[in-house]
């Protein structure tokens, strides 16, 4: 039976996020066949909006993992030039993840994964820098299980987080963005967390449904060498197919000098040793999606949790570029329901709720 929420989501992606119009050349790329209902809606809408060319593709993560485990060093060095040539013809890209198992690469060859990620970075750069792009998730039994929900509950959660009026949310975020723009010192306080850094000269960027669905964050970056102190993340994070909990990072002059995560400490440090930039931070963001309240072990959702922050080791974004470069960009999330956020010695959020009158509209309805 056709779910009207799928069609509504397709309209958000086509009409708001990527603004498909006459003459566009679009790629709809789905990881997992479960996304077929959404791909069908997107394909039809893009054609109806006048796109001159629309292509769709499906990939299977269980097959993709064979590359990391079976490919020789020489095979891992073959750049897919045909893909880059095709990407250069695109004006819009819609990516959908509908995987059944986020741990599919838990035992894959990590060195091969890192090497291939570096090799294919030009594909990502082409898509991000030269197309109207958006990425999203489609509900599956596997993702529902990871979120510890039934499929029905997960679908309700996902569509509520995605199918909202992003133009209204964008207006709410504007005041937080403007506050970030004029802020110098940031301090995060909470249990086993006391972190200070500067964001002076680095503008705030609204994530208001243009590139991620669901969306809902305002981000910037710390001045690269300004970070001092300690932060403990209280939200599970999955990176390169492995789950990490209770990550604790200590900083001195911007650099992570100590990193622990219980039994995953070794794996954590191996990732942070990928390159020099992996031990510096490329992003600081505040989550403000009103309909995302709890972690679900999916970073596209978890980084948008209302009342959360993420502080990200690795590559900085061009929009708020502090100069940090890395093959890593690892969004680690801390829920601030037990903490405080201060801008220039002024309390802006306490226990996950904004306390400044001009920001109270960002608090979710009870």
- pLDDT score at 100: 81
Which of 107, 142, 103 shows the shortest CA–CA distance to 241? 103
- Residues whose CB falls within 8 Å of the CB of residue 37, separated by 6 or more in sequence, listed in order: 2, 3, 6, 138
Name the pTM for this structure. Answer: 0.82
Domain ranges of the chain: 4-162, 166-362
pLDDT score for 107: 83
pLDDT at 240: 84
Q: What is the DSSP letter of 360?
A: G
pLDDT value of residue 147: 84
Q: What is the pLDDT of residue 281?
A: 98
Distance of alpha carbon 109 from alpha carbon 67, whole angstroms: 9
Superfamily classification of domain 4-162: Thermophilic metalloprotease (M29) (3.40.1830.10)
Task: Quote the pLDDT of residue 126.
Answer: 95
E strand or H helix at 162, and its extent? helix 151-162
pLDDT at site 19: 97
In whole angstroms, give the CA distance from residue 263 to residue 259: 12
Q: What is the pLDDT of residue 102?
A: 77
Condensed to tens digits (0 to 9), the pLDDT of residues 155-211 reads 999 999 999 999 999 999 999 999 999 999 999 999 999 999 999 999 999 999 999
Instruction: Return the pLDDT at 89.
Output: 98
Residues of the chain with pLDDT under 70: none
Nearest to 42 by CA among 98, 102, 118: 98
């Amino acid at each position: 039976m056709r779910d009207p929420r799928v069609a509504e989501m397709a309209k958000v992606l086509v009409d708001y996020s990527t603004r498909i119009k006459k003459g566009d050349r679009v790629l709809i790329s789905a990881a997992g066949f479960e996304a077929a209902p959404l791909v069908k809606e997107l394909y039809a809408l893009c054609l109806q909006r006048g796109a001159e060319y629309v292509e769709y593709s499906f990939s299977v993560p269980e097959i993709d993992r064979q590359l990391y485990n079976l490919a020789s060093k020489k095979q891992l060095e073959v750049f897919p030039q045909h893909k880059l040539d095709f990407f250069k013809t695109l004006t819009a890209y819609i990516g959908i993840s509908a995987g059944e198992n986020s741990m599919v690469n838990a035992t894959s060859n990590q060195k091969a994964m890192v090497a291939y990620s570096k090799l294919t970075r030009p594909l990502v750069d082409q898509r991000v820098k030269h197309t109207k792009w958006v990425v999203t998730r489609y509900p599956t039994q596997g993702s529902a299980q990871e979120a510890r929900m039934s499929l029905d509950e997960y679908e309700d959660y996902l569509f509520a987080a995605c199918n909202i009026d992003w133009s209204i949310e964008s207006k709410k975020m504007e005041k937080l963005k403007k506050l970030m723009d004029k802020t110098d010192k940031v301090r995060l306080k909470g249990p086993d967390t006391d972190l200070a850094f500067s964001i002076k000269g680095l503008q705030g960027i609204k994530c208001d449904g243009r590139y991620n669905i669901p969306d809902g964050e305002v981000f910037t970056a710390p001045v690269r060498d300004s970070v001092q102190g300690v932060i403990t993340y209280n939200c599970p994070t999955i990176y390169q197919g492995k789950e990490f909990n209770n990550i604790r990072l200590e900083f001195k002059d911007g650099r992570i000098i100590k990193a622990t995560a219980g039994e995953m400490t070794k794996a954590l440090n191996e990732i942070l040793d990928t390159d020099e930039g992996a031990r510096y931070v490329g992003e600081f963001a505040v989550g403000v999606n009103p309909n995302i309240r709890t972690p679900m072990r999916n970073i596209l959702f978890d980084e948008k949790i209302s009342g959360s922050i993420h502080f990200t080791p690795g590559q900085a974004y061009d929009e708020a570029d502090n100069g940090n470069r890395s093959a890593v960009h690892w969004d680690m999330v801390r829920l601030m329901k037990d903490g405080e956020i201060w801008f220039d010695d002024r309390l802006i959020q306490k226990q996950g709720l904004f306390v400044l009158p001009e920001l109270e509209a960002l608090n979710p309805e009870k």
